[in-house]
Amino acid sequence: MAQITLPYGQSFLGLEIPDERIEGILVSRAHEYKREDTETALVEKALAEPVESAPLAELSKEKKRIVIISSDHTRPVPSHVTMPVLLKEIRKGNPNADITILVSTGYHRATTKAELQQKYGEKIVEEENIVIHNAFDESSMVKIGILPSGGELIINKIAVEADLLIAEGFIEPHFFAGFSGGRKSVLPGIASKETILANHCAEFIAHEKARTGILAGNPIHEDMIYAARAAKLAFILNVVIDAEKKVIKAFAGHYEEAHKRGCRFVESLAGVRAKPSEIVVTTNGGYPLDQNIYQSVKSMTAAEATCKEGGVIIVASQCADGHGGESFYNTFASAGSVRQIMDDILTRTAEQTVPDQWESQILARILLKHHVIMVTDAPQEMVEKMQMKWAPSVEAAIKLAENILQEKKCKITVIPDGVSVIVYN
């Protein structure tokens, strides 16, 4: 009997499956990677050996206004480790620097003070100047160019007015940008709603290269690279983390070259071969990535890559914040069918993109080929209105899947952390 542990919120769910029913267990090797030093030492080493860049302390000299773009509450970046080292390095080169931490919420809700304290620690929250980006506040934005896609590039004016712009983040597989991190700190991180909508248009989301683990030829990535260059992003610190959200590797330096090196490292650990089966069980990696249904679509794409057409995807995701997007929820709750949703989205131009459309498009793509069952704290009515099924436990979900498939002994593939893998066919 296979004993499997599934991340769920800030805890875990246990799952037992007979060995003969397991088609495969797909796990990122990052979770077993043995880091060479402490988390802080790894970050310090990366800053001491930047990729194609002068050291941060040197870049900071004689710079008055320095802005650090930092990920928000939806990302498990261990900022309590990275931010103190970044601040120390900046002040080593410029003790009198005026530093602002700009929280890159993208299209998400504002980060709360409690979430800031959990992320950075009370000392940084109380002593540093922290500004939370608001993509909907036009008065805080400035236009700096036109994206390759044709959309206007409008970003937070605090970043534009900086004498030195840097960013911290983490690198993991991303379901349409290829990988997270690097250039993503600018777009969508500190971009306006108009710019995000243009970049996340139906045409780009449907593009064959807008998939997990792909950068070359990915139109979404190309827009993001342009945005980082136009914003004059001068330096990044990106980390790679394991299942416990601990730093196992760090990369610093040029916003594109350091990111590429980090992506290659992640790919070497995250790449797994598909094990096609009728039922696929996955999770969104636990807190903070499984805060809502919106974020949980990410893990569904990993399951999609190894689930047989007509099969069942089971997602265990706590979703304490519910659906995570009013437009996202309403798209499914008010539609007659998933086919109708997809057809409607695909008729829209980039200028006609609506909030959360990209998440709706990807979920619709999955639902057109697979059944989805959610094991979640989100209300059953909410899940079912979004045209998925709800189950109180993973065991109950498997029984429900067997009923849907009318097969009691079908094979099962398990992806314990769906956001940490790149599934190759």
Q: Give the catalytic positions in this structure.
A: 108, 174
Task: Report whether 2 contacts 20 (CB < 8 A).
Answer: no
Q: What is the DSSP secondary structure assignment for residue 191, as one 8-state letter? A: B
Question: Taken in order 288, 291, 294, 296, is the CA torsion positive or negative?
Answer: positive
Terminal CA-CA length for the chain: 27
Q: How far, in Å, are 14, 147, 328, 413 from residue 7 at the CA level? A: 9, 38, 24, 16
Which two three-digit tokens encode residue 96? Answer: 């009198």
Strand partners, 77: none
Please tell me the distance from the alpha carbon of residue 86 to that of residue 80, in angstroms, as a whole number. 11
Q: How far is CA 80 from CA 77, 114, 117, in A?
A: 9, 14, 9
CB 250 within 8 A of CB 260: no
Beta bridge partners of 251: 238
One DSSP character per residue, 93-153 reads: H-TT-EEEEEEE-TTSPPPPHHHHHHHH-HHHHHHSEEEE--TT-GGGEEEEEE-TTS-EE
Q: Which residue has the tokens 């990920």?
A: 71
> Nearest-CA neighbor of 240 among 102, 81, 22?
81
Is the distance from CB of 135 to CB of 107 less than 8 angstroms? yes
